[in-house]
Chains A and B, each alone.
Chain A
Amino acid sequence: MTHALPFVCFFVAAAPVSELPTPAESARRVVDAAKAEKAPLPEELSVKLAASDDPRDVWLAVAAHTLIEVEINPEMRVKVAAGPAKPTLTAGRTMPFFVRVENRCGATARLAVTATDLASNNAETPDWLDVEIVNAKGHSDRLSGAPIDYKLLMCRIAEPGRREVRLGFDAGQGTQDLGFRGVTDILFHVRKEDAAPSGD
């Protein structure tokens, strides 16, 4: 169920097929979005991006820094798996990760993320974690409809140590889960603040 909206009408502009981003373009956009967030990029990624501006190299760098791989099947059911990125954070610092979406139903819905702390008695979003899919000018949390889409996920954990969090994703079909397919559990390694290179 949705809540009544203010009595306004606005419509999303059509995206003609020719404008659907290729995977490499989507990868480039997500890098630009991460830079616009003014969050420090992980060193490995920065090095790769500095080394080459070739679209294919940028795409490979983004692929290697993908924390979450989301697959939306033709029935709009979401399957989530951990990607190759190392889930490493610096305590108290908001850091970017990439989400690769393989969109096999062409949906243009919003990709939503939820976080759960299984070690806590209340299953609500843990207060020690901030996680969101960036919805900003030039980089929306809505799917483009292209077969491969990258989204920007910002994460922050306050305290150092190891923290496991369950990340769930949905694309408009709700979070009704079939055999834990819409979630993945990520064990973050959170370094002490002073161990981090200076950012920004």
Chain B
Amino acid sequence: MPIRFVIVLSVLCSAALAQEQFPRVETVERQPLLSQVTRLDEALQAIGSPLDAEVHAALERLKSLADDKAVAAEVQTLLDPLCLVAIDLSGETPKVTGPGKTSELFAEGWRAFLVKVVNPEGATGGLRIDSPNAAPVPRSPADAVESRWLGLESYEGQPLRTKLSGLPLEYRIVQLYSRDVGERSATLTAAVVESDEQKDAPSGSADLKFKAVASTPVSFAVTDGGEPAMAAFEIRDALGRVYPLQSKRLAPDFFFHPQVYRATGETVQLPPGSYTVRCSRGPESIHETQSLVVEDRPVTLTYDVKRWIDTAKLNYWSGDHHIHAAGCQHYDKPTEGVLPADMLRHCKGEDLKVGCCLTWGPCFDFQKQFFTGKTDDVSEYPYLLRYDIEVSGFGSHNSGHLNLLKLKDQIYPGGDSKLHWPTLGLNTLTWAKSQGAVCGPAHSAAGLTRTVGRLEGTDGLDGPHRLPNYDIPAYDGIGANEFIVDITHEVPGPEGKLVPAVDFISTMNTDRVAEWNMWYHALNCGYRVKASGETDFPCITGERVGIGRVYAKVDGRLEFDRWVEALAAGRSYVSDGSCHLMNMTAEPAGDASRKVSLGENGSELRTVGPSSVKVRVTAAAFREGSPSLPVELIVNGYVADQQDLVADGTPRDLEFDAQLDRSSWVAVRVFPHAHTNPIFAIVDGKPIRPSKESAEWCLKGVEQCWSQKLRTYREEEREGAKTAYDHAREAYQQIIAEAEPTARPE
């Protein structure tokens, strides 16, 4: 046996004494045992009650130990001391053995413990662990109220299983809650059951002693720029356990988060002890870790947010146009998703100024009540929450989900729910655009990452990071798929005037190359679609709202309509929040009087004849170690110039030069963190046609998309779909005829 195991044993032997009366299992096949124990380790982490780092490391080391018996012995030596009870299933009735000591709980809070299961006969039913002391208090006999002080729940969620594995040895998790402070006793029972309903299974029991320490309210004092604020706090004790226990959370605290969001005056309950608290307020804040000692008196945790930048002061207002209050990670019981106040709390805590909370398939008929056609009443300036729709799980979702923002009416005519919507995305868009909505596909790269071939004759044309590239996507998913057709269409706006059917493409939350590549090709065909930033919280990720963002410029007071109009006009950049590209302008070199600002007057710079253009941007980035980041000037999808930016948080004015001999789009990016929208430089009044290959790529896309999506269109919409696709085919053929071959990158 390697020496390191001896060391671990000596560390743990004193703790092990308390559980020495537990039955031991001599041999277990090492592979399934270690796999089970690893899942236990993962589950403890997932519920915020991780194993001690030393125990975790010791378990990892067992993976290089080949002997079954040695592994079984080591596992028991490491985990038995963490067990509340051992349950031996070898006899007629389960034999429950307590730890031989008083176990510590804390009042009004949950603790997780392990349970050792010895199972020589290989039972594979469910293991019901219960206690008469955990029976409900409402409707209980008056003399039982005192003894029903305990809350008890086994954790059997992923990656654990509800049923016993049948291995001779396994460990499970049970969570206990104490209503009271002080010394208490409880009887713990165990039975193997074939179903939840089974009543008469033989059960065994043990009487256990507990001591519940009082928990203490910890209140928060949070300020940002001298104003009271909301922030994110991840609270862990010395053993790494998260508070409040994740598996017992209801909104506004989300069970899939280690962090909670708290504002000045709000509290959490913590038992006495030492804690580390990770404090943050979104990507513009400098994250910090504080130590907190809780004794028996109320304490206050003070967090004064330090920022490396405050883009709102520069009139750039962050937003996430795609977050959800229901579906995916959210629960649908005890409530159907969460409420506007819960979503706003998370936006405030991540310093996300605008949250577009989109109702979609799950809980649609419950969540639709929150749509008002204006910002929600819970909004607290400048934090704005607005309910709108993502076409997802119904209607035209199969050809690509659509974010519909700034709707006046949230439901398609002809019904009051989600089942009667059209199946052709263009039909959805036509309806939404007629009411002045701002629209674009969601999670764009879905369906664009698998490829089915490559455009002929494009050898050597791929740019750095494979942007652009000429592989033909499969169009087999739910991102910017029918998009390739819809961008070629104009539909009547609210006043009947024709407007583009698509305003923006969503970016920042899927494969960056695939989403930006689609955007570049669309721009190269002259379609002036804008980029916006989204998270699709908590579907693409449940980590937090505002992971993908758009920063839109609104001078003066922030209002949702003005913000979303800036998004549609491309007076904005997309970002993960770590990098900012503000105040972009372009002007003919030496002629500042003709300077054009991004998002103003159609972002259009007009020149006569080939000209040099000067592009300026205020760039700032903040990254650990202040590395230098390349800031690239992009012309028609390719890098035309580059400046380096020190990522120390300081905003710097950068200048770029481009020589334009034809009408072009010009933007600035920091791959993969941020991208400005484009300025359109129009040379001699000609349309932007810099790449025949881009138009050919789009035309191939129309064909591939048709092959995948035709079947998703309802019979009555087939004819319309065919017309819509034919229109796109003709549009791209026309562009191919007008366009020049792509200039080969150097």
Interface positions of A (Cβ within 8 A of B): 1-2, 4-17, 19-20, 73-77, 104-110, 117-121, 142, 145, 161-166, 172-174, 176, 178-181, 183, 185, 187
Contacts and interface: CB of A to CB of B under 8 A. Distances in A.
A181 to B, nearest CB: 7
Given A145-B712, A183-B159, A119 B707 contact: no
Given A14-B710, A178-B329, A179-B256, A109 B450 contact: yes
A1 B513 contact: yes
Contact of B328 (A2, A9, A77, A107): A77
Interface in B358-372: 360-361
Q: Is the interface of B mostly helix, strand, loop or mixed?
A: loop
Contact of B454 (A9, A15, A20): A9
B539 A77 contact: yes
Contacts of A14: 706-708, 710-711
Given A7-B456, A172-B449, 5 more contacts: A8-B453, A14-B708, A75-B539, A105-B477, A166-B35
Interface string B432-450: 0000000000010011011
B541 A178 contact: yes
Nearest to B161: A185
Q: Is the interface of A mostly helix, strand, loop or mixed?
A: loop
A6 B454 CA distance: 7
Nearest to B324: A75
28 contacts: A1-B511, A9-B454, A10-B452, A11-B707, A16-B710, A19-B711, A73-B327, A73-B393, A74-B392, A74-B393, A74-B478, A75-B393, A105-B397, A108-B476, A108-B708, A109-B476, A118-B39, A119-B31, A142-B476, A145-B712, A163-B32, A178-B329, A178-B541, A178-B542, A179-B329, A180-B158, A181-B158, A183-B158
A7 B459 contact: yes
A2 B397 contact: no
B161 A119 contact: no
B70 to A, nearest CB: 14
A164 B32 contact: yes
Given A5-B471, A107-B477, A181-B158, A12 B452 contact: yes
Contact of A119 (B30, B454, B469, B513): B30
B274 interface: no
Interface in B1-60: 29-36, 38-39, 42, 46, 60
Nearest to B255: A179
Contact of A9 (B35, B511, B700, B706): B700
Contact of A11 (B31, B60, B703): B703
A119 B446 contact: no
Contact of B60 (A10, A108, A121, A176): A121
Contacts, number: 184
Given A4-B469, A75-B392, A185 B451 contact: no
A176 B541 CA distance: 8
Contact of A118 (B34, B166, B706): B34
A171 to B, nearest CB: 8
B576 interface: no
Contact of B360 (A2, A74, A165): A74
Contacts of B64: 121
A109 B479 CA distance: 12
Contacts of A165: 35
A187 B165 CA distance: 8
B607 interface: no
Q: Which 4 A-B pairs have the closest CB atoms?
A: A74-B393, A119-B34, A106-B398, A164-B35
Contacts of A180: 42, 46, 158-159
A139 to B, nearest CB: 18
A118 B35 contact: yes
A109 B477 contact: yes
Given A73-B328, A106-B712, A187 B32 contact: yes
B635 interface: no
A10 B708 CA distance: 14
Contacts of B707: 11-14
A9 B453 contact: yes
A87 B539 CA distance: 31
B35 A185 contact: yes
A70 B633 CA distance: 44
A72 to B, nearest CB: 10
A119 B32 contact: yes
A107 B700 CA distance: 20
B36 A164 contact: yes
A173 B477 contact: yes
Nearest to B459: A7
A5 B158 contact: no
B158 A179 contact: yes
A166 B35 CA distance: 9
B474 A109 contact: yes
A117 B31 contact: yes
Contacts of A145: 398, 711-712
B536 interface: yes
B31 A5 contact: no
Contacts of A172: 446-447, 449-450, 476-477
Which of A77, A110, A172 has the most CB atoms of chain B within a 10 A radius of its CB? A172
Given A74-B360, A164-B35, A104 B449 contact: no
B63 A120 contact: yes
Interface in B168-186: none
B21 to A, nearest CB: 28
Contacts of A9: 453-456, 472, 700
Contacts of A104: 393
A4 B536 CA distance: 29
A16 B158 contact: no
Which of B39, B513, B711 has the most CB atoms of chain A within a 10 A radius of its CB? B711
A145 B711 CA distance: 9
Nearest to A20: B711
Nearest to B538: A178
Nearest to A75: B539
Contacts of B159: 166, 180, 183, 185
Interface string B228-258: 0000000000000000000000000000100
A4 B450 contact: no
Contact of A76 (B327, B458, B478, B704): B478
Contacts of B686: none
B167 interface: yes
A161 B29 contact: yes
B477 A2 contact: no
Contact of B447 (A109, A142, A166): A109
Contacts of B392: 74-75
A163 B60 CA distance: 18
Contacts of B704: 11-12
A1 B516 CA distance: 12
Contacts of A173: 446, 477
Contacts of B451: 2, 5
A176 B547 CA distance: 15
Contacts of A183: 158-159
B266 to A, nearest CB: 26
B692 to A, nearest CB: 16
B466 interface: yes
Nearest to A15: B711
Contacts of A185: 35, 39, 159, 161
A105 B398 contact: yes
B490 interface: no
Given A4-B454, A9-B453, A162 B478 contact: no
Nearest to B68: A161
Nearest to A16: B711
B224 interface: no
Given A74-B397, A187-B166, A11 B450 contact: no
Contacts of B33: 119
